[in-house]
Amino acid sequence: MPMSAERKTHDIELLSAYLDGQLTEAERSALETRLQNESDLRQQLAELRATVALIRELPTMAAPRDFRLTHAMVGTNPQRRQPRTYAFSFVSAAAAIVLFVLGFGLLSSSMSTRAPLASSNVASDGLAATSQPPQVAIVPTQTQPPTIDVLPLQYAATDVIEQEETLRDQSGEDARSGADSQQAQATSLPAATLLFEPTMGADTFAGAEAANTGTAIEEFSTAAEQADEEAPAAELLLQAPAEGDTAAASVPLPTQSEAPAMLALQPTDKPTEMPAPALALPTATPLATEMASLTPTSAPTATPAPTSTVFPTPVPQPIQVPARPTDTGALGVILIAGSIVLLAAAVYLFLRSRRP
């Protein structure tokens, strides 16, 4: 059957689209009907299908050469640095320097903080002046069991203990003396208590040495708690004077008078490392003042003994001292470690920026 060229062409289009599933439903069914009836059309379809199959089966050819690009081809400078990565490397290095300086500063300040505490708080009267009062606070917090065994201070622990024992004996004797001495006792006891409290004392001493900060209160509380756990005996001592004290206010007065007594109590303190004695003795006066100013604020554990009320407040500072060197030191170490990491990052970024 002669077919016009257009008809043939149109048929081929239909068949081609039919092979790709691109006919509408109506077109498809019409074509399939025709395919059943027209052998020529079937022949055309078969040939077309075979051709498409041959083309599709053409293999993938292997690249005849390496088509990878060189910098020359794309017009880039192989040494060109990635500006962003390059900048980041410098930022990282600068941050590393800042961190290192901060960390080093903290670390060295913590070191210097510790040293004086250990050594001579006792020796320095001046120390007692400012820092001492806090110690007093520490004591009151608790019943102040003279926990000789527990010595938070890393240094002079032994010395402190010894000192405290000495003080305790002395203060005990003083307490026994009389009403007057009671007041004095109250005064001295607190002072002694300070000494007695190795835990608290240590903290106190440390705190006294260092700047006073709020955290001292926490330390104080902790120390106070520790103190609580420990010696009931001290409580007795304290309680006795506590009654006498009644009010912190009274403390300052007797303190002043007691100052010399207090000093007498611990002649040895100064040389020793026990910060507490040093604090208590040299600054009898300042101590008293501070004691007066002390208010039983922080002592969480503190049993509200009148005496103790006086002390708690100032303590925060001393308490911190012991803690501070450790915390500050640790922070300093962390910052230095961070600076090392940043420095490594800076080096890495710098190297990366060279390979675009």
Partner 1 sequence: MSTVATQENEQRLIQAAQRGDLNAFNALVLTYQDSVFTVAYRIMGEMQAASDAAQEAFILAYRRLSTYRGGSFRAWLLRITTNQCYDELRRLRRKPAISMQDLPDADSDDGPALSADTDTPEEVVQQRELQNAIQQCINSLSPDQRVVLVMSDIEGFNYQEIADQLGANLGTIKSRLSRARAGVRDCLQAVKELLPSVFRLNSDE
CB-based contacts of 331: which residues, under 8 Å, 6+ apart?
A: 103, 106
- Based on the shown chain and the rule CB under 8 A, indicate whether residue 13 belongs to the binding site for partner 1: yes
- Based on the shown chain and the rule CB under 8 A, indicate whether residue 77 belongs to the binding site for partner 1: no
Query: Could you please report the per-residue DSSP string of 231-249?
Result: -HHHHHHHHHHHHHH-SGG
- Based on the shown chain and the rule CB under 8 A, indicate whether residue 305 belongs to the binding site for partner 1: no
Q: How remote is the C-alpha of 49 from its chain's centroid?
A: 75
- Based on the shown chain and the rule CB under 8 A, indicate whether residue 6 belongs to the binding site for partner 1: no
CB nearer to partner 1: give 304 or 356.
356
CB nearer to partner 1: give 84 or 176.
84
**Closest separation between CB of residue 67 and partner 1, Å?**
4
CB nearer to partner 1: give 71 or 176.
71
- Based on the shown chain and the rule CB under 8 A, indicate whether residue 67 belongs to the binding site for partner 1: yes
CB-based contacts of 298: which residues, under 8 Å, 6+ apart?
A: 137, 141, 217, 218, 220, 221, 312, 313, 315, 316
Q: Cα separations (Å) of 268 from 97, 114, 169? A: 46, 21, 14
**Closest separation between CB of residue 9 and partner 1, Å?**
7
**Closest separation between CB of residue 90 and partner 1, Å?**
18
| Distance in Å from the first CA to the final CA of the chain | 69
Q: Residue 339: phi, psi to the nearest 5?
A: -70, -35
Total residues contacting partner 1 by CB under 8 A comes to: 37
- Based on the shown chain and the rule CB under 8 A, indicate whether residue 1 belongs to the binding site for partner 1: no
CB nearer to partner 1: give 12 or 236.
12
- Based on the shown chain and the rule CB under 8 A, indicate whether residue 69 belongs to the binding site for partner 1: yes
- Based on the shown chain and the rule CB under 8 A, indicate whether residue 12 belongs to the binding site for partner 1: yes
Distance CA 349, CA 356 (A): 12
- Based on the shown chain and the rule CB under 8 A, indicate whether residue 61 belongs to the binding site for partner 1: yes
Cβ neighbours of 331 (radius 10 Å): 16
Choices 17-25, 136-144, 241-249, 337-345 (CB under 8 A): range interacting with partner 1: 17-25
**Closest separation between CB of residue 8 and partner 1, Å?**
9
Q: Within 22-41, which residues bind partner 1 (CB under 8 A)?
A: 22
List strand residue ranges (DSSP E) for 155-273, in order: none
Decide: residue 274, CB within 10 A, 0-12 exposed, 13-18 middle, 19+ buried: buried
**Closest separation between CB of residue 83 and partner 1, Å?**
10
Taking only Cα atoms into account, the Rg of the chain, rounded to an integer number of angstroms, comes to 44
According to CB under 8 A, which one of 1, 5, 26, 58 is a site residue for partner 1? 58
Choices 59-67, 151-159, 227-235, 272-280 (CB under 8 A): range interacting with partner 1: 59-67
The answer to whether 184 touches 174, Cβ cutoff 8 Å, is yes
Contacts with partner 1 by CB under 8 A lie at 9, 12-13, 15-17, 20, 22, 47-48, 50-56, 58-69, 71, 73-74, 76, 78, 82, 355-356
